[in-house]
Amino acid sequence: MSAAGTGRGVNGVVILLTFGTGIGSALFVDGELVPNTEFGHLEFHGQDAERTASARVRTEERLDWPSWCARVNDYLARMHALFWPDLFIIGGSISEDFEQFGHLLHSPAPIRRAAHGAQSGVVGAAFAAARQHQR
């Protein structure tokens, strides 16, 4: 995270959420990745969060941006209550349309689009692997 991207130079807790077929996640504390997060599988209204707020669900249920963002805002509120992040970063396939819906997202923490858009998860994984290899 500290090497490139939207979270570069951000201290504290940063949560990357990738919205696509499911909800991918990465948690960083002072630029260090906390391994093995699966926040898409967080219990949310009686089911996995990704069954309510993923981009796939938006498409399948034909939700407009305000309706989908209301679900995402509810999810972000839950994430904020648990982790008190200093920044949320939104990535995944949906981030390519961030200009259309970003203004509808709300949280006490700032919300930014992932610098690498839909490829953020792949780019982050490559940086993490390279960093691990250097150790």
Judge whether 2 lies within some domain: no
Tally the domains of the chain: 1
State residue 1's pLDDT score: 42
Which band of pLDDT confidence, cut at 50, 70 and 90, is reported for residue 2? very low
Judge whether 47 lies within some domain: yes
Judge whether 5 lies within some domain: no
- Give this prediction's pTM: 0.86
Q: Which CATH number do you get for residue 82?
A: 3.30.420.40
Is it the case that residue 128 has pLDDT exceeding 90? no
Judge whether 125 lies within some domain: yes
Judge whether 85 lies within some domain: yes
Q: Rounded distance, CA 2 to CA 4, Å?
A: 6
SS (H, E, C) 2-26: CCCCCCCCCCCEEEEEEECCCEEEE
Would the CA dihedral through 105, 109, 124, 43 be positive or negative?
Answer: negative
Q: Rounded distance, CA 121 to CA 135, Å?
A: 21
Judge whether 88 lies within some domain: yes
Q: Rounded distance, CA 117 to CA 9, Å?
A: 19
Which band of pLDDT confidence, cut at 50, 70 and 90, is reported for residue 127? low
Domain that holds residue 91: 13-134
Q: Rounded distance, CA 119 to CA 103, Å?
A: 22
State residue 52's pLDDT score: 95
CA 128-119-98 angle, 5° bins = 125
